[in-house]
Amino acid sequence: MFREIRRRRQALPIEAAEEMLIRGMTGVLAVLGDGDYPYAVPLNYVYHESAIFFHCARTGHKIDAIRGHGKVSFCVVDKDRTVPELFASDYRSAIAFGRAQEVDDDDEKLHAMRLLNEKYAPGLREEGEREIGKDWKALCVIRIDVEHLSGKEAAESVKGRA
């Protein structure tokens, strides 16, 4: 169902793609938006046990799109430098495809929020707990169950000269 990377020599092992998702701080979520136009939005996230979690408002373009059509893609760029003399880029990126849905289970929702807090505010556990509790009723957590993941990097000829 999912396409193979066309330039297979540039494909990374799945573990490298997962490492990018773990390490990355901002990813770009792409959904089927209004009028069937693609809608891509950068966001903070956490990757845990083959799932991507993020939080959002209970209303808006992103959540409407997910509720209407849960198939999404999610991209993280790990490295991006131009190599002018080669008219090329030295890059590494990962892209995940999966199905997004709202997390209804309070225990899973709390676990996801704690993972996000640990990633983006390390050492501020108590403060994070207060923040999570303060906005709990308005909080919407989304889980993307990753169905396909791939990673890609620049060709050897570029990497060696970048």
CATH of the domain at 77: 2.30.110.10
Average confidence score pLDDT of the chain = 91
In a domain, 159, yes or no: no
Q: What is the pTM of this model?
A: 0.90
Evaluate whether residue 21 is within a structural domain.
Answer: yes
Helices (H), the chain: 14-23, 61-68, 106-120, 125-134, 156-159
Residue 79 resides in a domain = yes
Does residue 134 lie in a domain region? yes
Q: Is the pLDDT of residue 112 over 90?
A: yes
Establish if 1 belongs to a structural domain: no
Mean of the pLDDT values across residues 21-27? 97
- Residue 158 has what pLDDT? 53
Distance CA 59, CA 70 (A): 15
**pLDDT above 60 for 15:** yes
Q: Does some domain include residue 68?
A: yes
Domain that holds residue 115: 8-154
Q: Above 70 in pLDDT, residue 92?
A: yes
CB 54 within 8 A of CB 66: no
